[in-house]
Amino acid sequence: MHVFDYSFDMETYMTKERFAQLKEFASTKETPFLVTSLSTVARKYNELEKSMPYVRIYYAVKANPSEEVLTLLAKLGSCFDIASVYELDLVLKLGITPDRLSFGNTIKKARDIEYAYKKGVRLFASDGESDVRKIAQNAPGSGIFFRILANGTGADWPLSRKFGAQPDVIFQNILLAKDLGLKPRGISFHVGSQQHDVTQWRTALSDCKELFDAAKEKGIRLDLVNMGGGFPAHYLHPVEETYVYAAEITDYIREFFGGEFPQIFIEPGRYMVGDAGILVTEVVMISRKERESGIPWLFLDVGKFSGLIETLDESIKYPIYTERTGEANDYILAGPTCDSMDILYEKMPYRLPSSLKEGDRLYFFTTGAYTQTYSAVFFNGFPPLKAYVID
């Protein structure tokens, strides 16, 4: 059994001063809730822009669609990857213009394509023939890029199988799109979210280059590679710094495309907002199932149904901080609902101080991505996770 020790160095995630500010802000609020820090989002954006000055950043709205985050990123110059007409309405409402949007979901209704087109969206992702036909009919003349499969190896949250198609299928779709009057722009991929293995980008870029060449032979000049997401946030397992990923990926692009880069897009979600969030929760109950042996259970007021769905299969391991110190114990962590699925960490218990008491607060770090919007609506009567934004 693999157990993580609670005594991590807070400075890996944030400064002590920053935590003090967060704690002060949180002290008057009733748990559970998420706090997202805008200055961290800005730092992440600037870091990425600096390490890959040639990319256009399309923030994946689904990761954290809070209006303050979107407004901040718009101000910094970001474009946006939207997945539905609802995300479209949200960004348009904030004054973001449609020339900064890409409809990145390959699964779309014809009427939603039509709606996006009417609102001014002219760039769509696609991976299937029927979708190409729907786009040609409902968004005539639009730019289209094609998503290839990636197997998700090396990623904590793989996104494989469901999206993309094999290059030979994509090639046929490129020709079809051209025939139907669309503008084939290029190729996209997603190497899997929280990707630890930077060579996965190399494999995908190699496929892109082959499709660029095949299209060129048919007289179609592709000029766009959309590298999707995959850049990591800082969870329990250490990850390489942004500039390391950026330098490697830049080398791969040069390897396949030479000195003249195509237009490169990137769609960070988790990377951009993950580190910016802290989820504050309270210990509801500590109990033992056996008298002598066994690991005690720590029940919290958040769980799988209140934002922590990425603990499915214990895929994402959040750093958890408590102000208690001293001798430590292993705990199984579970949520508050009446569903036995609602267990966060059991295969890998967390090592936390044995002095923990019911009513104590725990702080889940790195919860800015894929938490609040995943939260269920009133399961067992528990309201959706509250979310606050600070500077």
Ligand X SMILES: *Cc1c(COP(=O)(O)O)cnc(C)c1O
Give me the residues that bind ligand X (CB under 6 A), please.
Answer: 60, 62-63, 81, 104, 190, 193, 228-231, 267-271
Q: Give whichever of 117 and 271 is closer to ligand X, judged by the CB atom.
A: 271
Closest by Cα among 361, 384, 364 to 279 = 364
Q: Which is nearer to ligand X, 33 or 145 (CB)?
A: 145
Q: How far apart are CA 64 and CA 44, in angstroms?
A: 14
Of the pair 83, 283, the CB lying nearest ligand X is at 83
Pair 334, 297: CB distance under 8 Å: yes
Nearest distance, CB of residue 267 and ligand X, angstroms? 4
- In angstroms, rounded to a whole number, what is the distance separating the alpha carbons of residues 383 and 161? 33
Minimum separation from the CB atom of position 222 to ligand X (A) = 18
Q: To the nearest whole angstrom, how small is the minimum distance from the Cβ of residue 49 to ligand X?
A: 15
Percent of the chain as helix, strand, coil, to the nearest 5: 35, 25, 40
Minimum CB distance to ligand X, residue 63 (Å): 5
Do the beta carbons of residue 283 and residue 356 sit within 8 Å? yes
Half-sphere exposure of 84 (CA within 13 A, CB side): 5
| CB nearer ligand X, residue 56 or residue 62 | 62
Nearest one of 119, 126, 124 to 89, comparing CA atoms: 119
Nearer of residues 144 and 332 to ligand X, judged by Cβ: 144
State how far the Cα of 185 lies from the Cα of 168, in Å rounded to an integer: 17
**Cβ closer to ligand X: 63 or 362?**
63
CB of residue 226 to ligand X, shortest distance in Å: 8
CB of 266 to ligand X, least distance (A): 9
Helix/strand/coil for 105: coil
C-beta of 139 vs 369, nearer to ligand X? 369
- Name the minimum Å distance from CB 134 to ligand X: 18
**For residues 156 and 197, is the Cβ–Cβ distance under 8 A?**
no
Nearest residue (beta carbon) to ligand X: 229
Q: Which amino acid is at 331?
A: Y
**Strands in the chain per DSSP E:** 4-5, 33-37, 55-60, 79-82, 101-103, 123-126, 143-147, 155-157, 183-188, 193-195, 224-226, 263-266, 277-287, 297-300, 320-321, 328-334, 343-353, 361-365, 386-390
Pick 195 or 337: Cβ nearer ligand X: 195
Nearer to ligand X, 58 or 299 (CB): 58
In angstroms, the CA 191 to CA 205 distance is 10
Q: How far is the CB of 230 from ligand X (least distance, A)?
A: 5
Task: Please enumerate in sequence order all residues whose Cβ is within 8 A of that of 337, keeping only pairs 6 or more positions apart, or say none.
Answer: 303, 304, 305, 306, 379, 380, 382
3-state secondary structure of 174: helix
- In the complex, least distance from residue 156 CB atom to ligand X, rounded to whole angstroms: 10
